[in-house]
Amino acid sequence: MKITRPLIGKFLDISTSHITKKDARLLDRTVGSNPLIVYKYPEGFFVLVPEKFDRKNKYFHQELALAKKFGYSKALLNILRKAYAKNCWFVRLDCDGTVYSDLPTFKW
């Protein structure tokens, strides 16, 4: 199939202040048993938002359940839910990212 237009995806830009210190440590573990797909860079992380594979979104909910078992906070799981609801492909957690008034912040 020949593509005539570029495929452009979305990401949610958000401050690392919206995740806990433990979340940051877990995101830093990008190899092995980490249930999330993470790319680390000096100022933060890109986190892949699990995809919608069926009408009931079973896959997404299973991935969040695994992330919760792994130890991620409710705050990070809610960020992934927010990104998912907005059809974002990634979450960009950055030290200079956007701070949202409707989300909790953590000082670490």
pLDDT attached to residue 74: 97
15-41 per-residue burial string, b: 16 or more CB within 10 A, e: under 16: bbbbbbeebbebbeeeeeebbbebeee
CA dist., res. 49 & res. 21, Å (int): 20
Tokens 């799981």: give the residue.
77
- Model pTM? 0.87
pLDDT attached to residue 75: 98
One pLDDT digit (tens) per residue for the chain, 108 residues: 787 888 888 999 999 999 999 999 999 986 667 889 999 999 999 999 987 665 667 788 888 999 999 999 999 999 999 999 999 999 999 999 999 999 999 998
